[in-house]
Every structure is written in C-alpha cells, then in structure tokens.
Amino acid sequence: MSSYVITGASRGIGWAFLSNLSSNPSNTVIVIVRNKPGTEKRVAQEFPGRANIHVLQADLNDYKTLETAATDTAKITGGSLDYLIANAAYLTTWDHFDPIGTLGKNPTALEENLLANFKTNTVAQIHLFNLFTPLILRGAAKKVIAISSGHADIDLVAKFNLGNASSYAISKVALNMAIAKFSAQYHGDGVLFLSISPGVVDTGHFDHLTEEQLPGATSMFAKFKEYAPTFNGATTPEGSVKDMLDVIENATVEKDAGASLSHKGNRTWI
C-alpha cells in the first residue's frame, strides 16, 4: 500500500502515471493539476469507480496553491507520502526547433522564454520538493522523482550537436542539479532524490508542426537516429511510464542518490 503525488496528470505522461498507479486499488494516488474539474471529469469517464484517485488543484507557478496542495495531501494520507513524481513542466515549441543563436535575434523573446522555463521547470520544482519533503520523510518509500530529459545531458548535446530546445534543456540541467542538492541534504535521512528521463514519448507535441518548424524537427529526429540507430519514433506514454516505474522501484539511495537516469535505468536516453 503506497501513496503517490503526481504533478501534471491532466494529460500526457502524467496521465499515464495516474492510469497505471491507480489501477492498483491499494495505492492512494493524488494528482495535482491546474484544471481540477476537467481532470475530475476525465477520471470519472475513464476510471469510474476508482476511489483511490484524489484530484487537487495547484499551479506550479503559484506557491500558495502548492502549499495548499501539500496541506491537503497530508489530510488525505494522514501526514505522510511515499512517492512524489514531479512530472509537470513548461513545454513550448518556441525554442524547440531553432538553435540558440537564431533565438537570440529576438533577445526579449529569448529572455522571456528562458525565464518561463526556469521558473516552472526549476524554481517551482524546488518549491514543490521543499513543501512535500516533510511528508516524504514520514513515508515508507521516501522517493522524490523529477521527470527530466535527455536534453539535459551536456555530453550528449556536445557530441551530437543537439542545438534545439535550448531554454528547455537549460532549465532541465538546473532541475537535475536541484535534485543533486536535495539529495546532498536528505540522503542521510534515507530519501532518494532522482531525476529520470522518459525517453522520446508521443504526447502530441509534434502533431501540428508549421512549415518553418519542420526542418528543425526533421534534423532533431535525424540526430536521435544517429545516437540510437534502432530509434524508429516516439514511444507511448504508457510504455514509458511502465519503464520508469521499474527504474523507480529498483532505485535505492545507496546506488542512485541524486542521479540522473533514463527510462532504461542508465544514461542511454533513447
């Protein structure tokens, strides 16, 4: 019997975590979303009768709502939490296809995009970890998982000249460092802080590319193929979540504290 908090569970990978974990009635699954009525409606439609799902409202960029979500989580669980899965992220196509020097031709827009990525994908995650760590310390599993990205592997970017998704990648590198810093503080209390990349997952982000975006996307996927010759396109959220849950279950403070791993449990990203 385990308790889970998952952020960004309204859709995509977060929804797949919700679907998988709530299929076990002995789990308590608390999801934090921006649109509570919309998520409750989807849960009622797709998972009728799953009384182990609790939907809380919060915006990662609004500290007060996160604070309330932590308080409400404690009321549901009795004050503890086994797993925090920090999945929600700011994702925009603005920086996804052009290299950083091209983005810099509009310095105001680049600065806004960098700050928006940093605010949600790094600063807000740090607030989330700080607010939920007291509950995690009272839990049995004691695992805090940040969903990061292979884009945050500096060696990979340098070796394969991955020039796209700059603001996003920078914010995820910072997230990985935040995980390492939290681990430095709390590994002695038995808390595992770990970041995991889900692989390349089809959550609809590449469904409606413009003519301008297509060359950047094609080039990115060609580099993915160069890195992993067996790569034949994105996986499903359900498959990625199954892989990540295996990694989460097998990870321990002793061998994985503060690490950044892929859905394969190593540093092979695709």
CA–CA distances in Å: residue 98 to residues 101, 104, 110, 167: 8, 10, 11, 11
168 catalytic residue (yes or no): yes
Is residue 172 part of the annotated active site? The answer reads yes
CA 166 to chain CA mean position, Å:
17
Give the shortest CB-190-to-ligand NAP separation in angstroms: 25
171 touches ligand NAP by CB under 6 A: no
Q: Which of 90, 172, 186, 223 is catalytic?
A: 172
The residue behind tokens 């997952």 is 201
Is 84 strand, coil or helix? strand
Neighbouring CB atoms inside 10 A of 33's CB total: 26
2 burial class (0-12, 13-18, 19+ CB within 10 angstroms)?
A: middle
CB-nearer residue toward ligand NAP: 50 or 63? 63
156 part of the interface to ligand NAP, by CB under 6 A: no
Q: Which stretch binds ligand NAP (CB under 6 A): 82-90, 106-114, 137-145, 255-263?
A: 82-90
CA–CA separation, 46 and 147 (whole Å): 24
98-137 mask for ligand NAP (x: CB under 6 A)? Answer: ----------------------x-----------------
Interface residues toward ligand NAP, by CB under 6 A: 7-8, 10-14, 34-35, 59-61, 87-91, 120, 147, 149, 197-198, 200-201, 203
